[in-house]
Amino acid sequence: MNSRKIRFGVLGTSRVAIKGMLPAMRDSEYAELVMVGSRDPEKAKIVAEQFGAKAWGTYEDVLSSPEIDAIYISLPNALHEEWSVKALEAGKHVICEKPAATSYDSGKRMVEVAKRKRVRLIEGLMFRHHPQNIGVKKWIRDGVLGDILRFDGCFAYAMPDKSSNAMNKSLGGGSFNDQVCYPVAASRMIFGGEPDSVFCKIENDQGTGVSIKVHVMLMYAGNKPAFISSLFGSYYQSTYGILGTKAHVRMGRAYAVPRGMETKTFLDKDDNVEEIIVPPADHFRLMLDDFCGEISKGAESTKDYEGDLLAQARVLEAARISDREKRMVKFSEVR
């Protein structure tokens, strides 16, 4: 990897930025936090000083700085496309919080700019870099689970406060945007490809209009299903399970894993349930370091972050169409 650190600016001072990505930048060998941008300059200054950034300012100040190579975007969902495109047009690499795109067309616009400007773009689905998921993928490659038959994923938690971004429709809130992308991405990771078809049912909150219950069935090659739910107003669940011909595996905490938390994976095989403890890991830093490494490789990079972002956006667009038209939607229909 190039010895020079990738210099980052940050747009937004969200809770996920402060708890996740900013500590990762502070601790990384390959990234350096240079500047924090916010609509509130005083808040930007406080956060910059907290994490050792030497500068702060508006979003525009961050994008125009020649001292910055890459941008981390942690703004409300509805603003992701706008500010990702502005950052990419400014010649900056971009890490955009999930969901990077709130429509397939949005994703296509973002990826087109990234390719035209020859900069990198990745969606912030950090959980995929956690060692527990790397371990499960190895089990699949090694045949421990046998042939994969089905996937079950759920991300659910208590009803957000009515004043929060999660309950604000104009800001892109709702369970569909905030939660369902995680188990959808996990199913794509496990099956190693994209579904053939998608069926989705969404229930909206009557007061705010945001989605609060989402149920999705994805059918992968060989008629292998992924059953997925995301819910507001529930007992906390952040898990997925995989059923194979030889074993079943379940993650105790799959998606939002604090960097100081150990996780548990349960492997049910030969009538015995083995509990595997996975030591704490910072999946924000693992993804950040991976991204910095690929930036440093330049044209030699082999990772298609942009294609992955686009495929994820395409699956979610099929889900929206399915709910709207009340039918199963073929993946190939979304163009």
Q: Where are the domains of the chain?
A: 6-126, 130-284+315-333
Question: What pLDDT score was predicted for residue 303?
Answer: 97
Q: What percent of the chain has pLDDT over 90?
A: 99
Q: Is residue 50 over pLDDT 60?
A: yes
Asked if pLDDT for residue 242 goes beyond 70, the answer is: yes
Let me know: does 126 contact 74? Beta carbons within 8 Å.
no
Burial of 282 (0-12, 13-18, 19+ CB in 10 A): buried
Residue percentage of the chain with pLDDT more than 70:
99
pLDDT at 3: 63
pLDDT, tens digit (0-9, with 9 covering 90-100), for 20-29: 999 999 999 9
Q: Residues 244-277: pLDDT tens digits? A: 999 999 999 999 999 999 999 999 999 999 999 9
Mean pLDDT within 218-229: 98
Tell me: the pLDDT tens digits for 276-308? 999 999 999 999 999 999 999 999 999 999 999
* Mean pLDDT of the residues in the chain: 97
47 and 22 in contact (C-beta within 8 Å)?
A: yes
pLDDT in tens, 190-205: 999 999 999 999 999 9
CATH superfamily of 6-126: NAD(P)-binding Rossmann-like Domain (3.40.50.720)
Question: Quick one: pLDDT band at residue 64, thresholds 50, 70, 90?
Answer: very high
| Mean pLDDT computed over 223-235 | 98
The yes-or-no verdict on residue 120 having pLDDT over 60 is yes
Tell whether the model's pLDDT for residue 144 goes beyond 80. Answer: yes
| pLDDT at residue number 4 | 87
- pLDDT category, 1, cuts 50, 70, 90? low
The highest-level CATH class for domain 130-284+315-333 is alpha beta
pLDDT of residue 250: 98
